[in-house]
Structures are given as C-alpha cells and as structure tokens.
Amino acid sequence: MAPDATLNRPRARDLGISIGTMTPGPFNAITDVPGVKVGHATIIEGDGPLSVGKGPVRTGVTVILPHDGDIWRQPVFAAPHVLNGNGEMTGLAWVREVGMLGGAIGITNTHSVGVVRDALVAEGVRSQPPGAFSWNLPVVGETWDGLLSDADGFHVRAEHVRDALDDARSGPVAEGNVGGGTGMVCHEFKGGIGTSSRRIDEAAGGWTVGALVQANYGRRGLLRIDGVPVGEAIGLIEVPSPYSMLGRKGAPRDPTNTAIRARDGSIIIVIATDAPLLPMQCARLAQRAGLGLARAGSVAATTSGDIFLCFSNGNLGLPQSETAHEAHGVTAVRMLVDSALDPLFEATGEGTADAIVTALVAAQTMPGRDGIVAHGLPHDRLREVMARFGRLRT
C-alpha cells in the first residue's frame, strides 16, 4: 500500500474517539510543530514462505526533519529517555553529552539500523560544500518486524533512506503500514506509525507539542483506549493474534506457549515542540512520553525497547558543538521557566497516547511471511466498545 493511500484512511477522531481534553493542531500530527517534516519509504514485496534474502518483505524507513533550515549544520536542543533498553537508538551518547541533535531522525527495523545510519551520514556529507568540515552521529531508532517480514534479509538500502528524505513534507502524515512501521504489530493487532499533536493555550505560550510513534509492542488484553479496556473486549478469539500462527512452516501454535510470547516489545517515540526548551527540559518532556505509553496499556516489559527522544526547535541558529567558536564563544538562547512546563508535560502524555491510537486505527490487515497475518483493529467493533463504555464522542 502506497503511503499516500493511508492519508485517506479514517483517523481515531473520525470514528468519534478523542483522547484527552487538549486541542490538537490542524493536522493532529508532529508536523503541526512549525518546520517539522516527515517522510516514508515503504517496501512491500512477495508472499509465502520465508526465504532469507528474498522475502516476503514488509519493512521500510521513516525520517523526521526537525526544522526547515539546514538540518545538517543547524542543530536543535534535544534529549532522550530510555524506559526499557531492549532496543537501539544510535547517537544518544552524544545527544546526552551536548544536548543537541544534528540532522534527520531515522526509524526502521532492528537489523537495518546500520545502513540507515550510514545513509544519513552520507546525506549529511553530500549536503556540505566541497571540502567543508562534516561530522555527524545520526539518531536512528528501531523496532523488530521479523514476525511479518524477512528481517534477516537486509532489504532496506541507502536509496530507501534517500527516498524517505525526498518524501519528507509538512502537513498530513501517512500512518499505519508505512515506512519503518510497515511490518509492525501493536497489542497483537497490526501496528506501525502514528502521530498526534496538542496546542498549548495562548495564555500559556501557544506552543505546539507533537508526537510520532513506531508502535510494535504490547499484549492484547492490556490495550486501553481512552481508559476503555478495548483489548479485553476484542479478544484473541474474535481477532486472532499473529503470534498464534508462529510455528514450523506457518503451522498454528498455542498462543499461550511462553516460547512464542514475543508480544512485549517495542516502541520508538519522538516528541517535538517549538517551545524554547533547554536540553534538561527536553529530557523531562521525553520522560513524560512514558505516561502516554502507560495510558495505552504498556508495562515496559523486559523484552520491550521503549526509547524516546524529544527535541525543541525553539532556539534555531545554535552553533554546532564541534566547530570552532567565535569571539568569546557566547550565544544567546531562550528558555521556558520550569513552572511553565506543566502544560507541555500534559500535552506530551496525551499526544503520545493519541499517536498510538492513530497507529492502530490507520493500520490495515497485513499478511506476512509463512502465512502469518496481523489483523487490523476493526473500526466497527472499536466504535461499539467505546460506545458501550460511554466514550464515543460526537
């Protein structure tokens, strides 16, 4: 399915599901933060039994551009938070050290982190004038799509990263089975990419907080949407888990078998804001993404890689930390006082929970390798369940 096709899919609010009380931005997407762009490259090839190196392939790359200037030479303040570390996000040691993010953020599958990182380095080098100094430690996060895809086949290549960068745009964001989220599973439904945003009241600054997730975590019975136990109501007998089909040659197996209970990981969450935050304040926002994840039903299990990154583009024009300084090496920045952060904390948790729901609503049923099928969350049943609990809004 082409990414553009997902733009026509109904979103959670179209179904009458509104998470929280704050107001979304115009697109209810991370791209509501001024200057932020998102692009995808989606790879869907083949069907049938798994043949390593050949397919079937259900994977891709998603990129986030933090502002609309020279992202390779104009860093932004940023900070990560790791809720559970059974996963990878490259470049975090340097982000923690200097509190800055330079370049695009990449999100892909576990075994393609290296090629995406290298391709982003190459794009950073290519963007500079001949002979100019270039140095970059890109941020690339991952979740595992091996349930549906040939994860050991290394199908993501440098050209896919370039395609995702070329696709990066503001406005509506394709969600669900696209980019890095193509082969992902969430709460034993089809998962993938989801995004949301919240606007802070003008009296509190009028800032925007956006969230984008690559959701690939969770057991069915734990799923909560707006407080409703949707995972219990739409159980595994009604909508089978893709894990129930794991076995030799695709033969069904007992989903309660602990040997195949790989349902607990992972999720990458990126938080963006135009509020002028310092790195330690970005770290505090990144931490609050975990509250939104908990609202959706995660327990951050041992096998889950729950890794978050927050950046602020509210201080553009920062000098690169590794280049020679001018004069006395002093630059001016703006910052919010800490007492003004509470609305941003609320927006981060609420927006993260909403982004997970939008990923589930946008994702469609996808057959993968060995006849394994990840079923989409059925919209009609979701509406019935939400109405039963009095949470379907007009």
Phi, psi (5° rounding) for residue 204? -105, 10
Assess if residue 321 is contained within a domain. yes
- Which residues are designated catalytic? 266, 304, 306
What's the CATH number where 30 sits? 3.60.70.12
Cα separation, 76 vs 311, in Å, equals 7
Cα separation, 380 vs 394, in Å, equals 15
Assess if residue 394 is contained within a domain. no
How many CA atoms are closer than 13 Å to the CA of 88, on its beta-carbon side? 17
Integer CA distances (angstroms), 152 to 96, 110, 322, in order: 31, 9, 36
Assess if residue 392 is contained within a domain. no
The three state secondary structure string of 334-386 is: CCCCHHHCHHHHHHHHHHHHHHHHHHHHHCCCEECHHHCEECCCCHHHHHHHH
CB 394 within 8 A of CB 388: no
**Residue 261: its pLDDT value, please?**
54
**Residue 23: its pLDDT value, please?**
97
CB 66 within 8 A of CB 210: no
**Residue 304: its pLDDT value, please?**
93
Phi, psi (5° rounding) for residue 311? -130, 155
Assess if residue 2 is contained within a domain. no
By residue range, what is the domain housing residue 344? 9-387
pTM score over 0.85 = yes
Helix then strand count (H, E) for the chain reads 8, 14
CB 63 within 8 A of CB 72: no
Our count of domains for the chain comes to 1
From first to last of its 394 residues, what are the pLDDT tens digits of the chain?
445 556 677 899 999 999 999 999 999 999 999 999 999 999 999 999 999 999 999 999 999 999 999 999 999 999 999 999 999 999 999 999 999 999 999 999 999 999 999 999 999 999 888 877 778 899 999 999 999 999 999 999 999 999 999 999 999 999 999 999 999 999 999 999 999 999 999 999 999 999 999 999 999 999 999 999 999 999 999 999 999 887 644 444 555 443 455 457 899 999 999 999 999 999 999 999 999 999 999 999 999 999 999 999 999 988 887 666 666 778 889 999 999 999 999 999 999 999 999 999 999 999 999 999 999 999 999 999 999 999 998 7
Assess if residue 338 is contained within a domain. yes
Assess if residue 114 is contained within a domain. yes
Query: Which is nearest to 13 in space by CA: 270, 392, 348, 271?
Result: 392
Q: Which residues contact 286 (CB under 8 A, 6 or more apart)?
A: 79, 80, 81, 271, 308, 309, 310
**Residue 250: its pLDDT value, please?**
43
Phi, psi (5° rounding) for residue 344? -70, -35
Assess if residue 393 is contained within a domain. no
**Residue 5: its pLDDT value, please?**
54
CB 22 within 8 A of CB 199: yes
